[in-house]
Homo-oligomer: A and B are copies of this chain.
Amino acid sequence: MIAYTLGIDYGTNSVRAVVVDCADGHVVGTSVFEYPSGDQGVLLSPRDPHLARQNPADYLAGLRASVTGALSSAEGTPGFARERVIGIGVDTTGSTPIPIDAAARPLALDPRWANNLAAQAWLWKDHTAAGEAAAITETARQHAPEYIAPIGGTYSSEWWWSKIWHCLEVAPDVFEAAASWVELADYIPAVLAGVGHPRAIVRCVCAAGHKALYSDTWGGLPSKAFLARLDPKLAELRDRLYDLAWPPGLPAGTLSKTWAETLGLREGIAIAMGGFDAHYGAVGSGIRTGTFVKIIGTSTCDCAIAPVSDRIENIPGICGIVNGSIMPDYYGIEAGQSAVGDILNWWVGVCEGDESLHGLLSERAARLRPGESGLVALDWNNGNRTILVDPRLTGLVVGQTLHTTPDEIYRALIEATAFGARAIIERLTEYNVSIDRVVCCGGIVEKNDLFMQIYADVIGRPMLLAGSPQTPALGSAVAAAVTAGGAPGGYDSWQDAQDKMTTLKEKRFEPQPAAQAVYHELYGIYRELHDTFGGGAGAAPNLGTLMKRLLAIKARA
């Protein structure tokens, strides 16, 4: 039975739609829409470098344009017909809260609020709410430690409650005008389903569990008593949000008549539960028990799953363990590294080079043997997300001589990110998450063999490459095929859908024993620096605070 699904991936600067053949995951149509507003879609403030917002009108324009474009480009594929599209899946960046009115429309679409930065979507990388995040962490430590135990013990300024509270603090008029708030990952499915009021929006547990402190364990969102400790108005807001959130596989709704006509699709086809790009990227990479998925870009998002029957405990420093956030009946486990490609881009910039310098430095670095440079670096130029959960850590390079070359430092920085990746994997396996293979996707993965070989040698496991360069969009399409399981061509099981619709590249990277041995030793040195400068237990008393003291001096300078 020939069937297709649509996968729609909302990135920071663009939205991409793909039309996928449910039989084999083949992409038969694709289209990318670049956001027109602001700076590549991002609204910035000249007064605050931490602010990053986005105009929700871009999301709607992008929905229409990307889907229409993808369907047009699929025309002519033998067997393809618009009526054979059986479902739509959506993934987005997050946490991206949007204030909405009583009709579930973003406030920013109303001309009265259109130019108010607080009324826009609050992008994942908006860090204006650092103060609120710290206060939430502190309040939870004192009054509800169970809330933050599954997220590594620290609530982030990038997340739902920090941002909404910050809006209340700095733009109370916007907060008052908002009937409710919605994650972008829930908003787009609700738009497609024609949802007309906030309480009718179907919320995904992926966003709720990882960003909004939602858990069945304590009855959904944090208690009103807890929220009232932050601000009574947040406790009031709780009643206007949601009681329940749902795992993927369940429908977020069905395609509305209006949008069916707009897009030229059948009314009533399944809309998959929304989800974050990394999570659906993991699905598109064929995640299963024992598979660790790394989506490697400027930063890295890691995902693993573990059967709910395994009763995984809270894992220190792992930023999220949420029942059903990636696939139903599994814990979705999320980790990450704050800078990976960004560290290499930074180094190329320091060397006054352009994009092409990556190739030259990699080529020269590939001629070095492990350990030959005498260098070890920490990969904290943008803080440490996992396993230290500390955005205020900074970089370090040790071992330089007068002969140290730019390519030696480049290699040491790649190695540092690989050591950081190993620290995450070790933490998970120490807490009984099984990991036997690593599947990677992202631009670096496809372009940089040196990078991948170092990761294999440092991590000591085969590094596999996802078959698709666009795993989030593909994963959304997989979710749509499962959600539309009852329709001809859909799937009843995630396993079947992944087996058929996702692939791995033939190319893979195996650990080389000699290199692995050297890197094992260097990893020990990395961990000494990591544990000491990270300030954890056993850190040398002074050095554990050294980076923070430097930042304090910098802030005063």
Contact = CB atoms under 8 A, between A and B. Distances in A.
Interface of A: 339, 342-343, 345-346, 350-353, 369-376, 381-382, 394-402, 404-406, 409, 518, 521-522, 525, 528-529, 532-533, 540, 542-543, 546-547, 549-551, 553-554, 556-557
Nearest to A524: B549
Contact of A398 (B370, B401, B550): B550
B372 A404 contact: no
B532 A543 contact: yes
A353 B371 CA distance: 26
B540 A543 contact: yes
A456 to B, nearest CB: 18
Most B CB within 10 A of own CB, among A370, A394, A396, A553: A553
Which of A369, A371, A401 counts the most B-chain CB atoms under 10 A from its CB? A401
A136 to B, nearest CB: 25
B396 A550 contact: no
A86 to B, nearest CB: 43
Contacts of A373: 554
A381 B556 CA distance: 29
B399 A397 contact: no
B557 A370 contact: yes
Given A398-B395, A556-B371, A546 B528 contact: yes
A401 B382 contact: yes
A361 B553 CA distance: 22
A342 B402 contact: yes
Contacts of A342: 402
Contacts of A532: 540, 542-543
A542 B303 CA distance: 33
A356 to B, nearest CB: 13
A66 B342 CA distance: 55
Contact of A350 (B351, B398, B399): B351
Contact of A352 (B345, B352, B372, B397): B352
Contact of A394 (B351, B399, B522): B399
Given A371-B556, A374-B550, A350 B401 contact: no
Given A350-B351, A350-B409, A396-B396, A401 B381 contact: yes
Nearest to A541: B540
10 contacts: A371-B557, A382-B402, A394-B398, A394-B401, A395-B397, A399-B550, A518-B556, A525-B550, A528-B546, A529-B546
B353 A352 contact: yes
A399 B395 CA distance: 5
Given A369-B557, A557-B370, A343 B525 contact: no
B350 A352 contact: no
A48 to B, nearest CB: 15
A404 B371 contact: no
A374 B350 CA distance: 16
A526 to B, nearest CB: 10
Contact of A396 (B370, B400, B406, B522): B400
A394 B377 CA distance: 13
A345 B404 CA distance: 12
A371 B404 CA distance: 25
Given A350-B351, A404-B346, A404-B350, A546 B371 contact: no
Nearest to A544: B540
B554 A374 contact: yes
A522 B546 CA distance: 10
A556 to B, nearest CB: 7
B553 A521 contact: yes
A550 B526 CA distance: 11
Nearest to A346: B402
Contact of A554 (B352, B353, B372): B372
Nearest to A345: B402
A406 to B, nearest CB: 5
